[in-house]
Amino acid sequence: MAWLTFPAGQAYTFTRNELNDSEFAGVVSSPDGKTLFASVQTPGITYAITGPWKRAEAA
């Protein structure tokens, strides 16, 4: 599973690996913030996830 955390500390599950039991090896966004890249350790796949994304509102 991969979690997202807001600045105020709230966390929630963003995605999970349904392919196998392998873990996520890293999550990073593109410089323009429009694409999120998530890698799964085995078999070595990187997924590109696109929005639309909304900015989190300050609590």
- Mean pLDDT for 43-55 is 82
Confidence of residue 48 (pLDDT cuts 50, 70, 90): very high
pLDDT above 70: residue 37:
yes
Residue 9 neighbours by CB under 8 Å, 6+ apart = none
With 0.75 as the threshold, say if the pTM is over it. no
Q: How confident is the model at residue 28 (pLDDT cuts 50, 70, 90)?
A: confident
- In the block, tokens 């590109």 appear at 48
Give the span between the Cα atoms of 22 and 33, in whole angstroms. Answer: 26
Q: How far apart are CA 45 and CA 38, in angstroms?
A: 8
Q: Which sequence spans correspond to the domains of the chain? A: 22-52
Give me the torsion for CA of 15, 16, 18, 21, rounded to 10°: 160
